[in-house]
Amino acid sequence: MSNIIQIKVEELNALPATKIVENEKVERKFIQMYNAIWGSQMGEQIYHKEVFNFQKVLRENPAVAECTKMSLFGCFLDMAVNGLSLDNTSRPHCYLIPRNVKTGHKDERGYDIYEKRASVSVTGYGELTMRMRAGQIRYADNPVIVYEGDIFSISLDSGVKKITYSAAIPRKSTNVIGAFIRIIRTDGSEDYQWLLEGDIERLAKFSSKNNSYYKNGQRVEGKANELYYSNNGGIDPGFLENKMIKHAFDAYPKVRTGKFTMMATEQEEEDTIDYGFVSEDGLNEPIKSASSDSSVPFGEDRQIEAPTPVSVDVSQEDESQGF
């Protein structure tokens, strides 16, 4: 008996946003994907947990609930693909973010038509979890924020990065001048990564660019995330900690994510993941990756591979897609 699970786009569009995740086929697809990818039988338990989290987000954020049903469905399945959670903890793994995206069509005046789509935005803590699970690193220390007046220097000794740091206690200033993080590789060796004032300024400019938009055919310059300037004109320390974790892995191998997921460090080319969509005529419905459309102003950098898939008994269709 075939285990292929297909969900018609028309079925999803007929459902209220909060009811998409309660659909029987969506439930079966989520559990099947989770168990296949992670070599686990925890899919059903994780499904019920993420249904609660997902519906809570939609109730509390109407802008997300207004996104296309296909993108909401895809984001929910990405909870299974990424192995992350929407739990709203002090160090959340990810968020659901609404974005206006070009549809590829134009109105009668020749202007681009946009629609609101949801995507999963992975935080630095979520990315750290994915990289440890993928076996790229053993662990990483909490980022250290460097303030003006601290002793801080960077050196390279025979190709090995070294950092000298001593905090000024009591603080001489609240002005943040950088951050660094210590990463322990799987072989036990140390790696240090850092962000300095010039790097922070570059990220703020990138944030402004990504928040730009078009109005009446004219490009309107956007504003950088307010957290870049909320600390007496400087970057918020907690915000910088998250940025430090994300950008610590710029030079590390990529980790696979779902089609509807993006990270701030890199947007990767489209992965082949079967979301089970079919049209009324029974043909597979193509889905474009959230990170593959250059018109989508996702994130502040670009995106990234989840753990190596585990081989289990699933449908031929899922096996052909790498599950």
Dist. CA 294–CA 288, nearest whole Å: 11
| Residues 186, 103 within the same domain | no
Q: Is 190 helix (H, G, I), strand (E, B) or coil?
A: strand
Q: List all residues 6 or more positions away from 282 whose beta carbon is below 8 Å from its beta carbon.
A: none
At 138-174, the pLDDT tens digits run 989 999 999 999 999 999 988 889 999 999 999 999 9
Dist. CA 314–CA 316, nearest whole Å: 7
At 224-237, the pLDDT tens digits run 989 999 998 999 99
| Residues 132, 23 within the same domain | yes
pLDDT at 308 over 90: no
| Residues 125, 157 within the same domain | no
AA identity, residue 238: G
> What b/e readout covers 272-306, taking b as 16+ CB neighbours within 10 angstroms?
ebbbbbbeeeeeeeebebbbebeebbbbbbbbbbb
Dist. CA 163–CA 139, nearest whole Å: 18
Residue 306 belongs to what domain range? Answer: 1-136+253-323
Question: Are residues 260 and 119 in contact, defined by beta-carbon separation less than 8 angstroms?
Answer: yes
Q: What integer pLDDT is reported at residue 161 of this predicted model?
A: 92
Dist. CA 253–CA 131, nearest whole Å: 9
Q: What integer pLDDT is reported at residue 134 of this predicted model?
A: 85
Model confidence at 177, in pLDDT bands (50, 70, 90)?
Answer: very high
At 120-131, the pLDDT tens digits run 999 888 988 999
Tell me which of 183, 214, 248 is where a domain ends. Answer: 248
Tell me which of 248, 279, 314 is where a domain ends. Answer: 248
pLDDT at 271 over 60: no
Tokens of 206: 């990138």
The DSSP 8-state label assigned to residue 191 in this structure reads E
Q: Is 128 helix (H, G, I), strand (E, B) or coil?
A: helix
Tokens 């660094």 belong to 180
At 193-243, the pLDDT tens digits run 999 999 999 999 988 887 887 777 778 888 898 999 999 899 999 999 988
By the 10 Å C-beta count (0-12 exposed, 13-18 middle, 19+ buried), 206 is classed as: middle
| Residues 240, 269 within the same domain | no
The mean pLDDT value for 183-190 works out to 92
| Residues 196, 229 within the same domain | yes
**Number of domains the chain is built from:** 2
Tell me which of 214, 248, 282 is where a domain ends. Answer: 248
| Residues 212, 259 within the same domain | no
What are the distances in angstroms from CA 279 to CA 17, 18, 184?
19, 22, 48
Do β-strands 7-8 and 277-278 pair in parallel, antiparallel, or remain unpaired? Answer: parallel
Which secondary-structure segment (H or E) carries 181? Answer: strand 176-185
What are the distances in angstroms from CA 193 to CA 42, 60, 167, 232, 269?
35, 36, 18, 26, 25
AA identity, residue 241: E
Torsion of CA 23, 25, 28, 32, to 10 degrees: -130
At 44-79, the pLDDT tens digits run 999 999 999 999 999 999 999 999 999 999 999 999
Q: List all residues 6 or more positions away from 112 whose beta carbon is below 8 Å from its beta carbon.
A: 102, 103, 105, 106, 214
| Residues 226, 305 within the same domain | no
